[in-house]
Chains A and B, each alone.
Chain A
Amino acid sequence: MNKLSLIILGAAILVQSILAPALSLFGIIPNILLLAVLIMAGRDTSPFFFIAAFCSGFILDCMGNGPLGAYALLFMLGASVSRQVLRLMDNGTLFMNILVVATSVCLIQISSVFILAGTGMLQDLLGALLFYALPASLYDCALAVILLPLAYKFLPTKQSSGQDKLLHVQLR
């Protein structure tokens, strides 16, 4: 993992806890940490980025009242899958990045509602999908459309650090 990713994720945790409640729209708080993880998943080429995604999700779990491990799992799977999709399509255009991040955001928000329902913390599944997952996904997608071009401009796709490369070679 490169240091820049860790700094950005650290900053995203602070923004999520301090700034995000102030950005709530109709009671929906944006999931800035999720966006940061998905954006960095496409920019950071380290094979161990999923650990950072897991830790970010776990911190978000700790900050809320939902089940511990839910966002950790979803962040890790989301980051890994979106990275694989980008790699398989071999298409690094901004549009494709936005498409992948937006799709991942929607799937993660919907999955989080299903996990809540599965653990018995949510009774009205349809209502949660309509009133929580859908608006939250739209809000996050709108933010992704703003943030991704900035990331594209200012955060070059960096190769993983020497230490990571060495570890990767050792593992291979």
Chain B
Amino acid sequence: MQANVLQMILRYGKQLLFAILVIASVLCINFYARESQTGPLHSFQQQIRQVLSPLLYASSGIVLAEKNIATKADDMLAKPETLTALQEQNEALRQSLAQLEEYRAEAQRLEELLKLKDRYALEGVAARIVGRGSELYSDDLLLDKGSDDGVLLGQAVMGPTGVVGQIIAVNAHSSLLRQLTSRQSGVAVMVQSSKVEGVVRGSLQGLMYLQDVPLDAQIKVGDVLVTSGLGGAYPQGLMVGTVVSVEARQGNAAPKILVSKNDTPSPLQEVFIISTMGSSASGKQDKGKKEANA
């Protein structure tokens, strides 16, 4: 009997292995979908990503190299004599100028971040965008600060002028930023002038829409949206974006409200990961208004 079973296993070994792998995959998908973000499969995936994070750093280097190659290609299309003259003229200045320009841009960005930090009384850590996430179909960005620097899962991230997204994965020395425009993003907001509340959601096209607003709410083009603090994911009073179009729909359906993003993070730009917010930004703004009136 045992010999027969063994013989069958040997005969149908390939099919059996195939079936086992199919069943294992289906079970894996099922468990992954059902478990929480801290479940064993999610943790395992995060561990693997941590191991692979040096490769992602390497990919950001390739993006930079690609830019350099594109610049070289542009140079090749110019007239040789013009190019030579320009190269001679610029040779002495190029390096120092480029370096100074980089320092100036960096200082400006950091200054804007500092202003923002002071304005909203933010506490946290500044990080630099060093690459893209490796996931297909996503615009997630890789930051150079991780759990060793105090970054935690779910923390809000700000650019020089407003909220840009949220931390969705943290490794020891890097973390992954999900942008507000991502299809999986959602942030509770309110219209700064009328205090009407709603939710700004990203979409597949990379656009943001204001949804879940009351049907009788008067939303106008140019209305500024700030975080409402509901849900606790984002602190209250941070700038999210501006309403750019309000498209009425037939019947009682809610209008389609398109929101322009406040800030577009790009590679090598600095961002600020918020750990705590000292006091409500709106409170500060109200105080500022009172002082101005006085």
Contact = CB atoms under 8 A, between A and B. Distances in A.
Interface of A: 14, 16-22, 24, 27-29, 31, 47-48, 50-51, 54, 61-70, 72-73, 76-77, 80, 115, 118-124, 127-128, 130-132, 136, 170-172
Contact of B205 (A19, A76, A115, A127): A127
B85 to A, nearest CB: 33
B114 interface: no
Contact of A170 (B10, B137, B169): B10
29 contacts: A18-B55, A18-B58, A18-B62, A19-B62, A20-B134, A21-B131, A21-B133, A28-B137, A29-B136, A62-B48, A63-B49, A64-B133, A65-B168, A67-B29, A67-B32, A69-B29, A70-B29, A72-B21, A73-B22, A73-B26, A76-B22, A77-B22, A118-B33, A119-B32, A122-B183, A127-B204, A130-B204, A171-B11, A171-B14
Given A27-B206, A29-B136, A122-B183, A62 B45 contact: yes
Instruction: Name the prevailing secondary structure of the B interface residues.
Output: helix
Given A22-B59, A63-B134, A73-B26, A68 B10 contact: no
Contacts of B18: 50, 76, 80
A72 B133 CA distance: 20
Instruction: Name the prevailing secondary structure of the A interface residues.
Output: helix
Contacts of B33: 67, 118-121
A17 B25 contact: no
Given A21-B131, A22-B62, A127-B204, A65 B138 contact: yes
Contacts of A19: 59, 62
B233 interface: no
B220 to A, nearest CB: 27
A138 to B, nearest CB: 14
Most B CB atoms within 10 A — which of A17, A50, A123?
A: A17
Interface in B138-188: 138-140, 168-169, 183-184
A19 B19 CA distance: 34
A120 B184 CA distance: 11
B55 A17 contact: yes
Contact of A171 (B10, B132, B136): B10
B41 interface: yes
B91 interface: no
Interface string B37-69: 000010011001100100110110011001000
Nearest to A128: B204
B206 A65 contact: no
B203 A124 contact: yes
